[in-house]
Chain A
Amino acid sequence: MAAPILIIAIGNESRGDDALAPLLLRQIDRWLVNKARAEQFELIEEFQLQIEHAMDMVGRELILFIDAGMDTPAPFSFYRIEPNHVRTLFSHALTPEAVIATYGQLYQQCSPPAFVLCVKGEKFDLGSPLSSQAQQNMVLVMGFMEELLHKPRPLAWEERCTQH
């Protein structure tokens, strides 16, 4: 049986602020273990989103994609996503919107409610450490994340959505 809530963190730790999502995922993991909530959640870390991630969404009640952002709102944005096909044009890697669109095409049904938490990064160079701004954003976003984890329900999360 799949855990009801799936969190997918996307990023490459060797590329500066692209490490934001993997590092945040580890903080989430520790928090869930400390609160004895881990069995409700499955945490997946990936370099890139791909078509097969649609299959990871089967049987879930709620999905969260975490990624670093360039030129996105600071310190982070949080929003619900809908299927969007055309943004798959641009790379091997899919957007979260394209993954849930792929889910719909594969299973002929709407995907579980899905949200994106996009944490603003500044520098994405190979070998760079996390920038100071990203470190500050990380502290802020973890506080926000704990609120989400306390109430992992679509309606509660929709009330927490920010502009993006």
Chain B
Amino acid sequence: MTDSNLETAAHPEKLRRVAIDPVSRVEGHGKVTLLLDENDHVHQVRLHIVEFRGFEKFIQGRPYWEAPVMVQRLCGICPVSHNLAASKAMDMIVGATLTPTAEKVRRLMHYGQILQSHALHFFHLSSPDLLFGFDSDVSKRNIVGIAAAYPDIARQGVLLRKFGQEVIRVTSGKRIHGTGSVPGGVNKNVSVEERNYLLKDIKQIISWCSDSVRIAQQLFEQNLDTYNDFGSFKSHTLNLIRADGAMDLYHGGLRARDMDGNDLFDHYDYAHYWDVIFEDVKPWSYMKFPFLRSLGPETGWYRVGPLTRVTQCDFIPTPMAEQARREFMAFNGGSAAKATLGFHWARMIEMLHAAELIEELLHDADLQGNDLVNLGQRQERGVGVIEAPRGTLIHHYKVDEHDQIVRCNLIVSTTHNNQAMNEAIRQVARQYIDGRKLTEGLLNHIEVAIRAFDPCLSCATHALGKMPLEVELLDCEGASVSTLTRSADGTFS
């Protein structure tokens, strides 16, 4: 194996190329390429983003109040995250300080989103790998294979997801294109009937979330050596944090720590995020590579998301999730907190936290308040940051005197994790691919590492007939040597 960092091979012209295109069971379309020599040693590994999002241009010229609704069309999986981040940015534009009712309705919506997204990811996108094995029979390694072998788990996953979606529907007014969150507040409260509708199931939901934490823990315990090492690497971290150091998924200051856990900055006002975060570009990817300015583009990359949030907060402000966090941090001398596959366990802790918060909020009478919108002095710029299911999400807008958006910059969670995902798959390539004959099972190890981050690679279109999976072998001249295609029935030919 080469000693390089595997980002760029020294002599790519002599190597053969393997592409995993697109990466399956992640949102949107990604592609992984590996360059191998004649002895199957790995010289280069890259995660590419195939589709250019282009949303920042799309939104220019629109009136600012449209942004919270328009941005929901960015993504079919996490529209609520974009809706809330844009709403927070527009709160700054209209100079608003939210009323208690507005903030609590938005928080309830956000926790519903966290719950449904984490449930979908764990039960239906990752559990096939985790329960059956990374190189198990590909025809079973999917959601319905889980339903056949573990029917209770599959059913709980569906019902958890459905409950989260119902929280979103109640708070946003619709199943999709919700208009509940608006610049300066919300346009509806939660009625007593709606509250009671959600309350009747919440105890069961919390119980299932608690069970899910145990499942994630057991999977780690049962495969300790693999889980400790699989695609693991050291990185800096970035997340929002509440003023008292608690996990807060909706609002807070920015906390960045280096790979040894030392503070780089803490409680930093995100309204000036560009003073501490910058974005690098690389010629081989449409996705930018954010980095911490103080460390520079080469070494300043970082990791966001559930693993970062659970390990970098001082505590979680709900009792069951806090107990789970303590057990997670103490497990096996802290090994899960450093492992890429620790993402799954951390994600379930956050799901439990979200369920506890939903119950807490449902008992809060402010949800039925009628003071919904607050406006202040109009501003030119607005920045909104939340902790979306996949990690820190930044929306930044500039609005002119005609109320039109003239500039927009989004740094989505998956972009923050761009370099981290590349590091994870390079580590997996070193551990599992290097020097071996490629099989579908080995290639799936690469995908398992990517899926741990739950990336959302930008695409919200899903027309029928799309989404093949093809692995192509090319010779050093770029000519196709052989092609491996995964067909609709899951077999390779």
Contact pick for A93, options B54, B76, B141, CB 8 Å: B76
- A contact residues around B176 at 8 Å (CB): 45-47
Interchain CB contact under 8 A, A92 and B143: no
Interface segment out of the listed A7-15, A33-41, A138-146: A7-15
- A contact residues around B79 at 8 Å (CB): 47
Taking CB atoms and an 8 Å cut-off, the chain A residues in 76-93 that contact chain B are: 84-93
A67 to B463, CA, bound (A): 7
Taking CB atoms and an 8 Å cut-off, the chain B residues in 180-195 that contact chain A are: none
Interchain CB contact under 8 A, A106 and B158: yes
Taking CB atoms and an 8 Å cut-off, the chain A residues in 85-137 that contact chain B are: 85-95, 98, 101-102, 105-106, 116, 118, 121, 124, 126-127
**Chain B 135-166 near chain A by CB (<8 Å), digits 1 or 0:** 00011011111011001001101100110010
- Of chain A, the residue at the smallest CB distance from B491 is A86
Which of A48, A51, A88 has most chain B Cβ within 10 Å?
A: A51
- Of chain B, the residue at the smallest CB distance from A52 is B162
Query: Does B254 have its Cβ within 8 Å of any Cβ on chain A?
Result: no
Taking CB atoms and an 8 Å cut-off, the chain B residues in 449-473 that contact chain A are: 460-469
**Chain B 26-62 near chain A by CB (<8 Å), digits 1 or 0:** 1100000000000000000000000001110110000
Query: Does B234 have its Cβ within 8 Å of any Cβ on chain A?
Result: no
Interchain CB contact under 8 A, A86 and B460: no
Interchain CB contact under 8 A, A15 and B73: yes
CB distance from B28 to the nearest CB of A (A): 8
Contact A51 B70, CB 8 Å, known A86-B490, A93-B462: no
User: Number of contact residues on B: which range applies?
Assistant: 35 or more
Interchain CB contact under 8 A, A92 and B73: no
- B contact residues around A64 at 8 Å (CB): none
Contact A90 B24, CB 8 Å, known A44-B175, A69-B463: yes
Taking CB atoms and an 8 Å cut-off, the chain B residues in 195-226 that contact chain A are: none
Query: Does A68 have its Cβ within 8 Å of any Cβ on chain B?
Result: yes
Contact A69 B24, CB 8 Å, known A126-B53, A126-B54: no
Interchain CB contact under 8 A, A124 and B463: yes
Interchain CB contact under 8 A, A92 and B125: yes
Interchain CB contact under 8 A, B155 and A14: no
Interchain CB contact under 8 A, A92 and B469: no
Contact pick for B58, options A45, A55, A102, A126, CB 8 Å: A126
Contact pick for A86, options B155, B462, B489, CB 8 Å: B489
Contact A89 B120, CB 8 Å, known A47-B79, A52-B165, A126-B55: no
- Of chain A, the residue at the smallest CB distance from B458 is A126
Interchain CB contact under 8 A, A92 and B27: yes
A55 to B24, CA, bound (A): 25
- B contact residues around A17 at 8 Å (CB): 463
Contact pick for B144, options A12, A48, A101, CB 8 Å: A101
- Of chain A, the residue at the smallest CB distance from B157 is A51
CB distance from A77 to the nearest CB of B (A): 9
Interface pairs (27), CB distance under 8 Å: A14-B73, A14-B460, A15-B73, A18-B463, A46-B175, A47-B176, A47-B460, A52-B165, A54-B158, A55-B162, A68-B464, A69-B465, A70-B463, A86-B139, A86-B489, A88-B142, A88-B143, A88-B144, A89-B24, A90-B467, A91-B25, A92-B27, A92-B125, A93-B462, A94-B143, A126-B53, A127-B57
In addition to A14-B70, A67-B464, 14 A-B residue pairs with Cβ atoms within 8 Å of each other are: A12-B76, A47-B462, A52-B158, A52-B161, A55-B158, A68-B463, A69-B464, A72-B465, A86-B144, A86-B489, A90-B22, A92-B25, A106-B147, A121-B463
| A-B complex: 6 closest residue pairs judged by Cβ atoms | A47-B76, A105-B147, A85-B144, A86-B490, A14-B73, A48-B76
